Structure 1
């Protein structure tokens, strides 16, 4: 695609332009394709009057040119949100090549001449500055941002299109391990509309004839046809899920007493994805779970690749639908039944109340970056509906990645208006929080009961100790 130079002369909120140029680099160890792909993205937020625009370049990591993060508009928006003070982001990388086989990424060796590469690209980045940057002569030397993650190897093992969520993939990855000698293999679910967000991530364990801990990297394992990978759903690898489960410690004594009396604790989860949260609650902690997912294709993939097990006689039940609409409809039907004095409320689709309602829903608006929950979820009627589905000792747990401070405060205030108390857990990962709201006052917990010990063994205690009342 050729470039209409008039479009780059001014900053236009959310403007996205891509084009190719002949490769000008004199050495091709990194930028090796005959044509380079250039993408220009302007921030959705206009700069304040009097402030000079901040322009930055980024060299697309080698062998990741076909990754949605670096070749889709939504991916670029999410990249830009990682650097909130940038007015225009300019990405330069190899022109992606279409392949019929599975997408494979192997981290290349560290570039020793990265400074030389940036030096050669500076004139092209400067040429893509808006005209206002040249009012006092040449603009300052352009800044080059770097994208880094812990992925060593990644292969796409399944790709499909859901009727609601659109195109998504399942991929197996090897990531840098914190433990000596042990390999860290994971399976991930990613949506094209939010490519920088890992929707679900679980641990996978390779084996040959039942023998585990083979000591091989993922590249070597995939070359052996007899290797099988087992989904390990008894471990949570996404920190925010551990924080969400930690919210149960507020009512652990209540739950333990109910279990001792023969009751099985119940959880309602809005947003399933690959089902890591449901599987953990069910298998590791003994909960009966109901999960609501808007796209039936996602549930199909969760069963196929992520170890999510439901069906007749199982203690996990899956429902296809909009979770927010569902709980509002159920709450309304229950009010109508109670008004009529009808005893058939137990025949409701959700069949009774819950000990915990958990909400793991993300915004689908890439221009706002990674954020959750969707803004339409933050309504008193939604929180009131959720509260009506809880036992008196129950808790409401929601993941919050605020797009700004105002949104964060709004979620907290809406919860305070509906629930008895609100608590917060700082996940410590890119403004990631978990809010826990209680229906009633909490009695002092017995830290020696069976469920407490089981939960302490199952998850890290760091988030438990960081729970604070707001």
Structure 2
């Protein structure tokens, strides 16, 4: 059915339309054109922009789904309508199995040919002062090469994929460019957000001349944190480092609760690099299966995994930890991957709770944590789970300053002190809440845990912790 050009004369919040259009320079090919109007329209004059999909990434969820399109629009400040244009896969085939970034791809000719189309897809109000110029936005990321390792579907997370990528390192070693390889977990509901990222290293004995995605076997490196906000979250432990050192000196392992597991990079790091016993809570059993298979998360005596809603699980464990009889928490549920090996193991509270959850609704944009987690009853459950000197560290992506200020107010009602770490990427903050005033009973020079912490994280994050 033909589209009515009048459809595009007005802006309709959240309206999404996709169609095919003949390629102006390739008679046998089609273009996919997708038009999305912003959920909230500005009061002043509208702004329309276009973006060309990078060649061979046409089937990437970032460009082929409405949610990916929405994230691109929300990431382009002040845009009322974003028009995406990309090649339609020939004969229905998807992008190549291994994607390689196009070199010197020139779209100027296509931009000129498609200018009448862009004008036809612009709202009538844009022509009040003559024929407008439609700016062409560029999409740039650091991916040089990419291969999808597996696509799967979780009961909660929905469609997800595991991909291996080679990225720009930005550094040279002698005359050789240092090559960086990563494994990523992404969800279709938020395709522009990398849920988990770990470093990959080739297996010993690999021929360096054949080093590349799809050419050699890689293994996960769980001894480093590469996701931008994870190192700052771990750095927050320095606030209670003397208490952790005292616990270690008395022969007890510190305990961490990680709410939101994803690929499990944080859990594995806390266990291997800092000697924590870790309990992880994840809403989707399939996500845990992926974490075990591809990201090096290993169920051992030091890591226990629970499948369930984060708030519900925290409240149940909190009551159990405070002497209430909830014996069913100790039931082994191997068939769905959810278990606590022994309910009594959780009678001892946690030294730190780390929360890494994001909104499940792409229409909200990228928000962390989801609003339901910062309800008073959820924060009280978290506080009940902490030992007397314990802290809660949470990854925050705030869509607005008012959201962040409201978040701080909610935490102030429950916790004693609040601290902030600026991740430095203009997106993430780490908010740290303490159950009681922070104290230091061991000098830094005698604190081997603090020295270890500074060694495995960037010391600058520890130094930038700010009380708010």
- 1:143 corresponds to 2:135: yes
SS state of the match for residue 413, structure 2? helix
Q: Which residue of 2 aligns with 1:342?
A: none
Q: Which residue of 1 aligns with 2:53?
A: 60
SS state of the match for residue 337, structure 1? coil
Q: Which residue of 2 aligns with 1:155?
A: 147
Matches within 5 A, 1:386-397: 386-397=382-393
Q: Scaled by the length of structure 1, what TM-score is found?
A: 0.90
- The Cα of 1:465 is off from its aligned counterpart by 1.6
Cα-to-partner distance string for 1:72-125 (whole Å, 9 max, x where unaligned): 0110011111113100000111013544797421101023x4434322222211
Q: Which residue of 2 aligns with 1:191?
A: 187
The answer (yes or no) to whether the contact 1:157–1:171 under 8 Å persists in 2 is yes
The answer (yes or no) to whether the contact 1:358–1:398 under 8 Å persists in 2 is yes
Give the one of 394, 399, 410 matched to 2:395: 399
Matches within 5 A, 1:428-439: 428-439=424-435
- The Cα of 1:254 is off from its aligned counterpart by 0.9
1:70 and 1:367 map into 2 onto residues whose CA distance is 16
Q: Which residue of 2 aligns with 1:317?
A: 304
Q: Which residue of 2 aligns with 1:341?
A: none
The answer (yes or no) to whether the contact 1:33–1:95 under 8 Å persists in 2 is no
Cα-to-partner distance string for 1:372-399 (whole Å, 9 max, x where unaligned): 1111111121111101100111000100
Q: Which residue of 1 aligns with 2:21?
A: 21
Shift of the 262–368 alpha-carbon distance from structure 1 to 2, 3 Å rule, reads same
The answer (yes or no) to whether the contact 2:181–2:199 under 8 Å persists in 1 is yes
1:34 and 1:74 map into 2 onto residues whose CA distance is 26
Q: Which residue of 1 aligns with 2:36?
A: 41
Shift of the 194–384 alpha-carbon distance from structure 1 to 2, 3 Å rule, reads same
Tell me how many residue pairs correspond in the alignment.
Answer: 445
2:372 and 2:425 map into 1 onto residues whose CA distance is 24
Q: Which residue of 1 aligns with 2:318?
A: 331
2:144 and 2:450 map into 1 onto residues whose CA distance is 37
2:207 and 2:422 map into 1 onto residues whose CA distance is 34
Q: Which residue of 2 aligns with 1:120?
A: 113
Q: Which residue of 2 aligns with 1:424?
A: 420
SS state of the match for residue 249, structure 1? helix
Matches within 5 A, 1:325-404: 325-333=312-320, 337=324, 347=343, 350-404=346-400
- The Cα of 1:334 is off from its aligned counterpart by 5.2
1:215 and 1:409 map into 2 onto residues whose CA distance is 52
The answer (yes or no) to whether the contact 1:183–1:216 under 8 Å persists in 2 is no
SS state of the match for residue 239, structure 1? coil
Q: Which residue of 2 aligns with 1:343?
A: none
- The Cα of 1:17 is off from its aligned counterpart by 0.6
Question: Which runs of 5 or more structure 1 residues have no equivalent in the other structure?
Answer: 339-345
1:122 and 1:430 map into 2 onto residues whose CA distance is 34
Matches within 5 A, 1:256-335: 256-311=245-300, 314-333=301-320
Give the one of 443, 446, 461 matched to 1:446: 443
The answer (yes or no) to whether the contact 1:183–1:217 under 8 Å persists in 2 is no
- The Cα of 1:332 is off from its aligned counterpart by 4.1
The answer (yes or no) to whether the contact 1:183–1:215 under 8 Å persists in 2 is no
Cα-to-partner distance string for 1:164-210 (whole Å, 9 max, x where unaligned): 11110100000011332321001000001110000000011112xx2
Shift of the 331–454 alpha-carbon distance from structure 1 to 2, 3 Å rule, reads same
Cα-to-partner distance string for 1:306-347 (whole Å, 9 max, x where unaligned): 000004xx2000011111111123334556729xxxxxxx94
2:82 and 2:160 map into 1 onto residues whose CA distance is 26
- The Cα of 1:6 is off from its aligned counterpart by 3.5
SS state of the match for residue 289, structure 1? strand
- 1:105 corresponds to 2:103: no
CA RMSD of aligned residues (A): 2.0
Cα-to-partner distance string for 1:233-272 (whole Å, 9 max, x where unaligned): 0100011001110110111111011101111000000000
SS state of the match for residue 301, structure 1? helix
Question: Which runs of 5 or more structure 2 residues have no equivalent in the other structure?
Answer: 326-341
Q: Which residue of 1 aligns with 2:3?
A: 3
Q: Scaled by the length of structure 2, what TM-score is found?
A: 0.91
1:334 and 1:315 map into 2 onto residues whose CA distance is 18
Q: Which residue of 1 aligns with 2:334?
A: none
Q: Which residue of 1 aligns with 2:458?
A: 460
